[in-house]
Structure 1
Amino acid sequence: LVNKIKHSLANMLNTDITVSEQVKDVSRIERVSAHSHIRGLGLDDTLNARKVSQGMVGQRTARRAAGVILKMIEQGKIAGRAILLAGEPGTGKTAIAMGIAQSLGNDVPFTSLSASELFSLEMNKTEALTQSLRKSIGVKIKEETDIIEAEVVDIEIDNDAKGKVGRLTLKTTEMETMYDLGGKMIEQLSKHNIDIGDVIQIDKSSGKITKMGRSFARAQDFDTMSASTKFVQTPVGELCKRKEFVHTVTLHEIDVINSRPQGFLSLFSGDTGEIKQEIREQIDMKVDNWKETGKAEMIPGVLFIDEVHMLDIECFSFLNRAIESDMAPIIIIATNRGITEIRGTNERSPHGIPIDLLDRLLIIHTKPYQQPEIYEIIAIRCEEEDVEIEETAKKFLTTIGMQTSLRYALHLIQPSYCIAKKRKAEEISINDIKKAYSLFIDVDRSVQFLNEYQNQFMFHNISDSQQNDDDADRNDDDKKIKDKNRTNNETNNTNDNDNDDDDDDEDILDIE
Structure 2
Amino acid sequence: MAMSITTGTSELRDVTKMERIGAHSHIRGLGLDDRLEPRANSQGLVGQAKARKAAGMILKMVQEGKIAGRAMLFAGPPSTGKTAIALGMAQSLGPDVPFTIITASEVFSLSMSKTEALTQAFRRSIGVRIKEETELIEGQVVEIQIDRSLTGATKTGKLTIKTTDMETVYDLGMKMIEALTKEKVLAGDVIAIDKTSGKVTKLGRSFAQSRDYDAMGADTKFVQCPEGEIQKRKEVVHTVSLHEIDVINSRTQGFLALFAGDTGEIKPELRNQINAKVAEWREEGKAEIVPGILFIDEVHMLDIECFSFLNRALEGELAPLVIMASNRGMARIRGTKFRSPHGLPVDLLDRVLIVSTKPYTEEEVQQIIQIRCQEEDTQLTPDALTVLTSMSMQTTLRYALNLIACGKVVARKRKAEMVDVEDLRRAYTYFMDEKRSVQWLKEQQGSLVFEEVGSKEDELMDIGQ
Output the TM-score relative to the length of structure 1.
0.83
CA drift of 1:221 comes to: 5.2
What is the distance in 2 between the residues matched to 1:438 and 1:202? 66
Q: 1:68 aligns with which of 51, 57, 60?
A: 57
Q: Is 1:298 the counterpart of 2:294 in the alignment?
A: no
Q: 1:210 aligns with which of 191, 201, 223?
A: 201
Corresponding position of 1:199: 190
**Equivalent position SS for 2:105:** helix
Q: Is 1:88 the counterpart of 2:77 in the alignment?
A: yes
Q: 1:172 aligns with which of 163, 168, 177?
A: 163
- Give the alignment's Cα RMSD to 1 decimal: 2.5
Deviations 1:460-501 (A, max 9, x none): 2339x98xx98xx99x99xxxxxxxxxxxxxxxxxxxxxxxx
Q: Is 1:242 the counterpart of 2:247 in the alignment?
A: no
* 2:373–2:379 Cα contact (<8 Å) kept: yes
Unpaired segments ≥5 residues, structure 1: 1-19, 478-512
Equivalent AA in structure 1 for residue 109 of structure 2: S
Q: 2:299 aligns with which of 308, 331, 334?
A: 308
Q: Is 1:380 the counterpart of 2:371 in the alignment?
A: yes
Q: 1:99 aligns with which of 73, 88, 111?
A: 88
Q: 1:330 aligns with which of 321, 336, 341?
A: 321
Corresponding position of 2:7: none
| Aligned pairs for 1:18-417 within 5 A | 23-24=13-14, 26-160=15-149, 161=151, 162-220=153-211, 224-417=215-408
* 2:70–2:320 Cα contact (<8 Å) kept: no
Flag the 1:214–1:390 CA change in 2: closer, same or farther, 3 A: farther
What is the distance in 2 between the residues matched to 1:220 and 1:422? 56
What is the distance in 2 between the residues matched to 1:223 and 1:114? 56
What is the distance in 1 between the residues matched to 2:179 and 2:410? 53
What is the distance in 2 between the residues matched to 1:391 and 1:33? 25
What is the distance in 2 between the residues matched to 1:421 and 1:302? 43
CA drift of 1:94 comes to: 0.5
CA drift of 1:229 comes to: 4.1
* 2:299–2:325 Cα contact (<8 Å) kept: yes
What is the distance in 2 between the residues matched to 1:367 and 1:159? 75
The answer to which of 145-154 and 350-359 deviates more is: 145-154
* 1:79–1:324 Cα contact (<8 Å) kept: no
What is the distance in 1 between the residues matched to 2:208 and 2:440? 73
Deviations 1:75-122 (A, max 9, x none): 222244200000001100001111111111110000000000000000
Structure of greater relative contact order (alpha carbons < 8 Å, 6+ residues apart): 2
Flag the 1:202–1:432 CA change in 2: closer, same or farther, 3 A: same
Deviations 1:430-458 (A, max 9, x none): 22222222222222222223333364433
Q: Is 1:461 the counterpart of 2:452 in the alignment?
A: yes
Deviations 1:43-99 (A, max 9, x none): 122222111111110000111111211122122222442000000011000011111
**Equivalent position SS for 2:171:** strand
Equivalent AA in structure 2 for residue 379 of structure 1: Q
| Higher helix proportion | 1
**Equivalent position SS for 1:412:** helix
What is the distance in 1 between the residues matched to 2:337 and 2:301? 14
* 1:454–1:460 Cα contact (<8 Å) kept: no
**Equivalent position SS for 1:319:** helix
Equivalent AA in structure 2 for residue 282 of structure 1: Q
Flag the 1:303–1:163 CA change in 2: closer, same or farther, 3 A: same
* 1:303–1:331 Cα contact (<8 Å) kept: yes
What is the distance in 2 between the residues matched to 1:51 and 1:324? 37
**Equivalent position SS for 1:292:** helix
* 2:36–2:57 Cα contact (<8 Å) kept: yes
Corresponding position of 1:485: none
CA drift of 1:404 comes to: 1.0
What is the distance in 2 between the residues matched to 1:360 and 1:339? 18
Equivalent AA in structure 2 for residue 66 of structure 1: A
The answer to which of 74-83 and 396-405 deviates more is: 74-83
* 1:57–1:373 Cα contact (<8 Å) kept: yes
The answer to which of 302-311 and 236-245 deviates more is: 236-245
Deviations 1:334-379 (A, max 9, x none): 0001101110111110011000000000000000011000111111
Equivalent AA in structure 2 for residue 57 of structure 1: V
CA drift of 1:220 comes to: 4.9
The answer to which of 121-130 and 426-435 deviates more is: 426-435
**Equivalent position SS for 1:126:** helix
What is the distance in 2 between the residues matched to 1:358 and 1:37? 32
Flag the 1:234–1:30 CA change in 2: closer, same or farther, 3 A: farther
What is the distance in 1 between the residues matched to 2:357 and 2:204? 49
CA drift of 1:39 comes to: 1.6
Output the TM-score relative to the length of structure 2.
0.91
The answer to which of 134-143 and 33-42 deviates more is: 33-42
* 2:300–2:344 Cα contact (<8 Å) kept: yes
**Equivalent position SS for 1:128:** helix
Flag the 1:217–1:91 CA change in 2: closer, same or farther, 3 A: farther
Corresponding position of 1:3: none
The answer to which of 292-301 and 158-167 deviates more is: 158-167
Equivalent AA in structure 2 for residue 460 of structure 1: E
CA drift of 1:383 comes to: 1.4
What is the distance in 2 between the residues matched to 1:422 and 1:217? 60
* 1:86–1:363 Cα contact (<8 Å) kept: yes
What is the distance in 2 between the residues matched to 1:433 and 1:218? 62
**Equivalent position SS for 1:157:** strand
Flag the 1:228–1:336 CA change in 2: closer, same or farther, 3 A: farther
Equivalent AA in structure 2 for residue 169 of structure 1: T
Unpaired segments ≥5 residues, structure 2: 1-10
